[in-house]
Amino acid sequence: MAEIITMPKMSDTMTEGVVAEWLKKVGDPLKTGDGLIAEIETDKATMELDLDERMDLSNFKDCRILYIGLEKGKAVPVDSIIAIIGENGEAYEHLLGGATAPAVEVPATPEAPVATASAAPAVDTSNIKAEVIGMPKMSDTMMEGTLVTWLKKVGDSIKAGDALLAEVETDKATMEFDLDNFIDVTKYNPCTLLYIGIEEGKTVNVDDVIAVIGEPGADFQALLSGGKTASAPAVAAPVASETPAPAAKAEETVVISDADGRVKASPLAKALAKDKGINIAQVKGTGENGRVVKADVDNFVPAAAAPKAEAPAKAAAAKPAFVPVVTGEESYEEFPVNQMRKTIARRLAESKFSAPEFYLTMEINMDKAMAARVSMNEISPVKISFNDMVIKAVAVALTKHPKVNSYWLGDKIRINHHVHIGMAVAVEDGLLVPVIRFANTKSLSQISAEAKDLGGKAKNKQLQPKDWEGNTFTVSNLGMFGIDEFTSIINQPESCILAVGGIKETVGVKNGQFYATNVMKVTLTCDHRTVDGATGAAFLQTFKQLLEDPYKLLV
């Protein structure tokens, strides 16, 4: 019986592999002692793929390479289909329903002609009233997404204004995938969800097939095989039936709100439950129609575990009873890396190891800024924070030092004439950088209101792509956490990032006299490819002058 060969995991850190060289071609025989089929390039080294180490080739009477599904030099994720082996002349096409790569047309040997999948006639899909839906690119840096929850099931209708298909976790946030923003669903009458190609909780690359929509009865199987193909094995979701679902385990309290067995919960509640290691199905929902919300997860108390039976009493020890015996049990928790953390790791590692950074630290006297803030808050419609004053001062300073407000683009440097300030916001899953656009043109009150709104959206996972794209300079403030001084990693392609510490009361000296004063330390991280030391220092001098004489921010 034919057998699928997948990309093997040849190291503990390997996530994808490249076929460096095929050592066999379609039709070549395979036998015990001669099972080398390819050279695989992993994240560690180039290694040989020997089928003798993975299976017993003697189980086949006349074992052959029936199909090769990956071109030399191409990379695919671990467990993707790369080949099929079986007995000479055996049919294998039924195994390719979930193939992750198109067939490679390789000529068969004269003595053992074998038809490859690429020899099949092309399928005309132009008249099929259906459409393949791929994983959407919901941010400028998104490379893959996780299907958190399906909001529709196979057979459900999709209408304009009611086209929410799923909740998708990107590298920035968990967002709703609304088909109305991508296609015109009214061109199908009626528009129906025909096929689901990915299970909840699974991660796939951008543009990989996740569903098919169209008119009932449309031949979507022909569309999948003859049109776009998923790069991960497709999983057809079963249509809900009247057959009761298997009973939950006795020790679990399962709360089900939908007829198809899906737990209704907000994206924030699901993310919070995942972080806390709580089974969301055990949480009773108090939201609309029993929907689990954040408060339900916060207040959830798991059922008390049954106490362990006490060990039999030990015989009296020879040592005196007063000698203490210290015991303990080693334990730990592991959590899968989410898409946001993956992107933070990838982008900041790229920045740290590619940009020649240098750091400039300056101390700023905040006495006048503190007094001015008190006066401004007496008339401001919103409360102005020191961070708002920092953002405004940075924006004004950037207009005077445009080289700091630049991008490194490899073969060119872009000087931005607009000032979009990114403000780093810590969230449960990592770090987001919402953007205050044209900050140099806005008043302190406007900046304060916008910063509060964006910060709230970031913490509640309500940011949209327009809220975090396009920043030309970033401010990272840890002063509210009691941090005096730190350095930040540049958010490329930006040229600089400003790390802001807390305001600290200290003792100053003037004309031989001691006095109490308040200072704040800031550190500017610069990419030396675009910003020189003198340029960065001049920017900090202007920034310092603006905060030490804050009335200049109002001009």
pLDDT digit string, tens, across residues 262-280: 677 777 778 778 878 888 8
289: CB partners within 8 A, 6+ apart: 257, 264
- Per the model's pLDDT, the better-predicted residue between 313 and 248 turns out to be 313
State the Cα–Cα distance between residues 246 and 263, nearest whole angstrom.
15
- Determine the average pLDDT of the residues in 538-545: 97
Residue 302 in domain: no
Whose structure tokens read 């004004």? 396
58 three-class SS = helix
- Better pLDDT: 204 or 45: 204
d(CA 197, CA 185): 19
Better-scored residue on pLDDT, 303 or 531: 531
- The set of residues, in sequence order, having a beta carbon less than 8 Å from that of 301 and lying 6+ positions away, is none
pLDDT of residue 160: 87
Specify whether 180 is located in the same domain as 88.
no
Confidence at residue 78, expressed as pLDDT on a 0 to 100 scale:
87
pLDDT at 234: 39
Q: Return contacts of 10-14, CB within 8 angstroms, 24+ apart.
A: 10/40, 10/42, 10/44, 10/47, 11/42, 11/43, 11/44, 13/43, 13/44, 14/42, 14/43, 14/44, 14/78
Q: Over range 355-383, report the average pLDDT.
A: 95
Element spanning 436, H or E: strand 435-436
Q: CA angle, 351 as apex, 13 and 438 as ends, to 5°?
A: 135
Instruction: Report the half-sphere exposure of 282 (CA within 13 A, side-chain side).
Output: 16
19 with 155, same domain? no
Question: Taking a C-beta distance cutoff of 8 angstroms, is the pair 146, 169 a contact?
Answer: yes
Give catalytic status of residue 528 as yes or no.
Answer: yes
**Beta pairing partners, 421:** 436, 473
Q: Across-strand partners of 471? A: none
Q: State yes or no: pLDDT of 112 exceeds 50.
A: no
Same domain? For 386 and 467 the reply is: yes
| Residue 486 structure tokens | 């730190």
pLDDT at 106 over 50: no
What pLDDT shows up at residue 53? 84
Whether 111 maps to a domain, the answer reads no
User: Helix, strand, or coil here: 6?
Assistant: strand
CATH number assigned to the domain comprising residue 440: 3.30.559.10
**pLDDT > 90: percent of the chain:** 39
- Could you report how far apart the first and last alpha carbons of the chain are, in Å? 81
Cβ neighbours, 10 Å, residue 331: 5
CA torsion, ordered 50, 54, 58, 61, to nearest 10 deg: -80
Q: 67 and 151: one domain? A: no
Residue 240 lies in a domain: no
- pLDDT for position 303: 66
Give the tens place of pLDDT for each residue, 152-192: 999 999 988 888 899 998 877 788 898 888 888 888 889 99
In a domain, 54, yes or no: yes
Residue 124, judged by CB atoms within 10 A of its CB (0-12, 13-18, 19+), counts as exposed
If one counts the domains in the chain, the total is 3
pLDDT at site 333: 85
Residue 295 forms part of a structural domain: no
Does 137 lie in the same domain as 87? no
CB 336 within 8 A of CB 349: no
Residue 385: C-alpha distances to residues 372, 373, 419, 444, 488 (Å): 11, 8, 20, 9, 21
The C-alpha R_g of the chain, in whole angstroms, comes to: 30
Q: What is the reported pLDDT for 48?
A: 86
- Asked whether residue 467 is domain-assigned, the answer is yes
Domain finish residue from 193, 220, 247: 220
What pLDDT is attached to residue 319? 53
* Distance (Å) of CA 4 to CA 55, 158, 402: 11, 37, 58
- The pLDDT tens digits of the residues spanning 57-95 come to 888 888 999 999 888 888 888 888 999 999 888 888 888
Per-residue confidence at 315, pLDDT binned at 50, 70, 90? very low
The DSSP output letter for 157 is B
Are 164 and 78 in the same domain? no
Q: CB count, 10 Å around CB of 499?
A: 24
pLDDT, tens digit, 9 for 90 and up, residues 380-404: 999 999 999 999 999 999 999 999 9
Best CA proximity match to 207, nearest among 231, 238, 224: 231
Q: Longest Cα pair distance anywhere in the chain, in angstroms?
A: 100
For residue 143, give both structure tokens: 């490379």
Whether 227 has a pLDDT exceeding 80, the answer reads no
Give CA–CA dist 387/338, Å, rounded.
29
Share of the chain above pLDDT 70, in %: 83
Query: Of 42, 69, 95, which closes a domain?
Result: 95
Residues 91 and 134 reside in one and the same domain: no
Average pLDDT over residues 46-54: 84
pLDDT at 201 > cutoff 50: yes
Distance, CA of 231 to CA of 70 (rounded, Å): 12
Average pLDDT over residues 515-525: 96
pLDDT at 495: 96
Question: Does residue 520 form part of some domain?
Answer: yes
Q: Is residue 100 scored above 90 in pLDDT?
A: no
Q: Is the dihedral of CA 210, 5, 336, 287 positive or negative?
A: positive
> What does the angle CA 304 – CA 308 – CA 312 come to, to the nearest 5 degrees?
160
Encoding tokens for residue 344?
A: 């933070």
Judge whether residue 379 has pLDDT over 90: yes
Top pLDDT among 523 and 36 is at 523
The predicted pLDDT at position 96 comes to 80
Q: What is the pLDDT of residue 320?
A: 55
| Cα 461 to Cα 172: distance, rounded to the nearest angstrom | 9
In sequence order, the 6+-apart residues with CB closer than 8 A to the CB of 437 are: 418, 420, 470
Question: What b/e sequence results for 266-291 when a residue is b if at least 16 CB atoms lie within 10 Å of its CB, and e otherwise?
Answer: bbbbbbbbbeeebebbbbebebeebe
One domain, residues 36 and 147: no
Given the residues 56, 162, 184, 532, the one annotated as active site: 532
Q: Is the per-residue pLDDT at 140 higher than 80?
A: no
417 is annotated as an active-site residue: no
Mean pLDDT of the chain: 82
Residue 532 contacts by C-beta under 8 Å, 6 or more apart in sequence?
Answer: none
Helix (H, G, I), strand (E, B) or coil at 179: helix
**pLDDT of the residue at 289:** 67
Predicted confidence band of residue 114 (pLDDT cuts 50, 70, 90): very low
- Same domain assignment for residues 465 and 371: yes
Q: What are phi and psi of 425, to 5 degrees?
A: -125, 125
Contact 390, 539 (CB under 8 A): no
At residue 396's C-alpha, the angle toward residues 406 and 433, to 5°, is 60
pLDDT given for residue 128 in this prediction: 84
Domain termination residue (choose one: 183, 202, 220): 220
Q: 173 and 41 in one domain?
A: no
Tell me the mean pLDDT in the region 202-218.
90
Residue 312 within any structural domain of the chain: no
Domain assignment of residue 46, given as a range: 3-95
- Clarify whether residues 400 and 481 are in a common domain: yes
Q: What is the CATH number of the domain that holds 59?
A: 2.40.50.100
Q: Which of 223, 220, 213, 201 is nearest to 164 (CA)?
A: 213
Residue 84 shares a structural domain with residue 139: no
